Amino acid sequence: MKHIVFYNLPNAGASIVMPVLEEFAQAAGCENFSGPTEPQRLAEDVAAGLRAFQWTHSGPENFADFLPCEDFRFICLTRDPRDVLVSHVKDLIQLDLHEGKTENELYLEYIDSNYGDMFDDANSWRALEQANVINLTFEELKRNIPLGLRRILDFAEVPATDVALQESCAQKYCRSARIRGY
């Protein structure tokens, strides 16, 4: 298994990928998982000789030291910006973080902020054309979740049998659908 950096826009579908990718990466011996709030951990884990997994919302410039390394795999998941916008605003409302603003005010505020410049980061990731970077869209992933996850696991050299992958997907996505009330 390679070191893994998983980039996604907020609200771009990480909940589809992360549970399965973490499960199989952990089974392959990776015990060092760090998230978007811990960008320094990747360098620390690698310097300590540990197999690292970093989930991030940051642009590729933050990983410049690792981008040329053959033992790293960078997975970039993006989503239609309109869907990201709607999901972001719906999350603010559902989590009661809207500070009394209307839904329309939240949309306009987010648009006026240039989406927090996060699409610049997404475009930077998508522009990378190198063998250790894979770009996927949420839309292509959700067409066939197990197949998309197989592609990611194979790219990152994370072992998983087809049976184990199917079972993991069935367990995680059936449970997720029940929690959401589908």
For residue 115, what is the DSSP state? G
Q: What is the pLDDT of residues 29-88, one digit of tens each?
A: 887 899 988 888 999 999 999 999 999 999 999 999 999 999 999 999 999 888 888 988
CB atoms within 10 A of CB 132: 20
**Pairing mode of beta strands 32-34, 52-56:** parallel
C-alpha dihedral sign at 32, 151, 87, 168: negative
pLDDT of residue 174: 56
CATH class of the 3-79+118-180 domain in this structure: alpha beta
Q: 103-122 burial, b if ≥16 CB within 10 A, otherwise e?
A: eeebeeebeeeebeebeebb
In the chain, which ranges are continuous DSSP H helix? 14-27, 40-47, 81-94, 103-112, 118-127, 138-143, 145-155, 162-180
Q: What is the pLDDT of residues 91-120, one digit of tens each?
A: 889 999 989 999 999 999 888 887 777 788
Beta bridge partners, 135, equal 76
Question: Taking the C-alpha atoms of 167, 52, 34 and 137 in order, what is their torsion angle to the nearest 10 degrees?
Answer: -60
pTM: 0.86
Domain ranges of the chain: 3-79+118-180
Between CA 23 and CA 7 the distance in angstroms is 17
- Report the amino acid identity of residue 170: A
